[in-house]
Amino acid sequence: DRKVITQLRFIKSIASVVIITLTISAILWSIPAARKLGETILTSAGIVGIIVGIAAQKSIANLVTGFQLAFTQPIKIDDEVKIAGEFGSVEDVTLTYVVVKTWDWRRLVLPLNYFNDNPFVNWTFNSKPVIASVFFHVDFTFPVSELRTKLMEFLKDEPWWDKNIVELLVTDSDDRVLKLRATFSARNASDAWNLRCKVREELMEFIKNNYPDALPKLRRMDAEGI
């Protein structure tokens, strides 16, 4: 489960830091000179604490944000997200940053505070399946039912379609064209993107080859005698 994996990775990071810190402290405490130095430092802990607190404000804020992300789950490992104009999947969540793998395999490394201060889109927040759509503009003479049949035939053998939702509707019109919307579902955002591109190509090719006169055109009505 992606939710559990995200929480376990964050807890593992916390545990690693705590274990390393305690181990180093135990080793140093066993050395008399180091212990004496530690006692001296502790006597001025108030001043040191203030200095460290000021210096560590961002780190502490990041740590608190990390707990929020791990347990409130606005993002999880493998979530498909759109962040800063980039689409990708969450690859890792650490104590201080999140790694997002983009569609072209680049990595966005974002500080945890980014997710508190900036909006982002999570395509798989509750579930993986998503709905995609493609729009077409055609002439009023175009037989919409023919394109609807073509869409069904194309998706039937398309592996990116999850076999759930498909429809073609006339969603709008103006003085020149009809606006058609093809809607279909896919298992995840990546499949939906690929399917959107394939449907657009396939249906535009169908219109061009079978109903070229139905492509949008500019009509002009001249006044008599002009």
- Rounded Cα–Cα distance for residues 99 and 218 (Å): 49
Q: Give me the pLDDT at residue 226, please.
A: 47
What are phi and psi for residue 171, nearest 5 degrees? -95, -15
CA 189 vs CA 80, 96, 125, 133, 217: distances in Å: 7, 27, 11, 12, 34
| pLDDT score, position 29 | 63
pLDDT of residue 218: 63
Question: Is 93 within 8 Å of 10 (Cβ atoms)?
Answer: yes
Question: What span, in angstroms and rounded, lies between the C-alpha atoms of 162 and 15?
Answer: 41
φ, ψ dihedrals at 107, nearest 5°: -120, 125
- At which residue do the structure tokens 């379609």 appear? 161
For residue 113, the model assigns a pLDDT of: 82
What is the per-residue pLDDT for 55?
47
Nearest C-alpha neighbor of 198 from the set 147, 161, 146: 161
Run of H or E residues at 4: helix 2-29
* Gyration radius of the chain over CA positions: 29
As a whole number of angstroms, the distance between CA 38 and CA 177 comes to 80
Q: In DSSP terms, which residues pair with 132 in a beta bridge?
A: 184
Residue 21 in tokens: 């810190």
| Nearest residue to 96 (alpha-carbon basis) of 63, 120, 55 | 63
| Domains in the chain: ranges and CATH | 2-122 (2.30.30.60), 130-214 (3.30.70.100)
Contact present, 143 and 210 (Cβ < 8 Å): no
DSSP string, 15-81: HHHHHHHHHHHHHHHTSHHHHHHHHHHHHTHHHHHHHHHHHTHHHHHHHHHHHHHHHH-SS-TT-EE
pTM check: above 0.75:
no
Question: What's 212's DSSP letter?
Answer: G
Q: Using CA of residue 69, residue 74, residue 79, residue 83, what is the dihedral sign?
A: negative
Ranges of residues in the chain with a pLDDT under 50 are 50-51, 54-55, 225-226
pLDDT number for residue 145? 95
